[in-house]
Structure 1
Amino acid sequence: MSVSFKTCLLIDDNYIDNFVTRKILETGNFAENIIVHSSPHDALNALRKGEILPDVIFLDIRMPSMSGFEFLKEYEKLDLSNKDIVKIFMLSSSLDPTDMRSSSENKYIAQFVHKPLTYKALQELCL
């Protein structure tokens, strides 16, 4: 797989999930830069300050300080030049139909992806 994106932002509070997802993204040559934030608040601050301008975001749903959906409400308020073209993948182990429905109804979410991210799933995202 060739590099699909310049900058990928991964937001997940779980260290092991971040490690695995990052390795899959690196091995899959998914993006030139992979930036990991374990706190959605830190990710929002970095986006606000212009420290990160991602092409794609992998976002967990269930995090202790702010859910993925709460993150998206704050993301909507950001003044980013590329906000409407950033691909956001909701990356979650949730099997809750409400989470899947909410993901499909959110205008920023391109797709719901089940954890753990696999190389096969990554290839399908790039098609």
Structure 2
Amino acid sequence: MPATYKICLLIDDNYIDNFVTRRILESGHFADEVIVRQSPADAIDSLRDGSVKPDVIFLDIRMPMMSGFEFLQEYDKLNDEVKKAKIFMLSSSLDPTDLKKSIENKYITQFIHKPLTHKILEELSA
């Protein structure tokens, strides 16, 4: 079964969440390659220097040093050639403000509540 995407970038500070989400993405053949960055700043650096060129990004909201929304502010400053990824906000946040900000953000394709499941991946791939 061919993967839906070539490169998936997962940005989340939580090691366990990354482990579980990565396994779901890999076993669901969602992407040929899953790259994990535990720091949004590291992810921005990887995008800026071209070492990571994702087709899709899964982004957490609540992270130390830089939130998912702060990541998006930095992402907006990148060259347009870099900003081609489909971004899914993947969060355990139940804050209605986070959902509203996600819906209003031009880069966010969809807000997804953790944990990511095979059923959700199938819906995203459809």
TM-score computed with the length of structure 2 as normaliser: 0.97
Query: Shift of residue 80 of structure 1?
Result: 4.3
Alignment of 1:1-127 (within 5 A): 2-83=2-83, 85-127=84-126
Aligned counterparts of 1:110 and 1:67: Cα–Cα separation in 2: 18
Percent of aligned pairs with the same amino acid: 67
CA-to-partner distance for each residue in 1:58-88, whole Å, 9 max, x for gaps? 00000011000000000000114151x3110
Aligned counterparts of 1:98 and 1:122: Cα–Cα separation in 2: 25
2:28 touches 2:121 (CA, 8 Å); kept in 1?
yes
> Residue 108 of structure 1 aligns to which amino acid in structure 2?
Y
Instruction: Give the RMSD, CA atoms, in angstroms.
Output: 1.0
Aligned counterparts of 2:125 and 2:86: Cα–Cα separation in 1: 11
Aligned counterparts of 1:63 and 1:32: Cα–Cα separation in 2: 26
2:11 touches 2:37 (CA, 8 Å); kept in 1?
yes
Q: Which 4+ residue blocks in structure 1 deviate beyond 6 angstroms?
A: none
2:48 touches 2:82 (CA, 8 Å); kept in 1?
no
Aligned counterparts of 1:2 and 1:51: Cα–Cα separation in 2: 24
What runs of 5+ residues in structure 1 fail to find an aligned partner? none
> Residue 63 of structure 1 aligns to which amino acid in structure 2?
M
Aligned counterparts of 1:54 and 1:80: Cα–Cα separation in 2: 14
What runs of 5+ residues in structure 2 fail to find an aligned partner? none
CA-to-partner distance for each residue in 1:17-76, whole Å, 9 max, x for gaps? 000000000000001111000000111111110001100000000001100000000000
Aligned counterparts of 1:66 and 1:22: Cα–Cα separation in 2: 21
Query: Shift of residue 98 of structure 1?
Result: 0.6
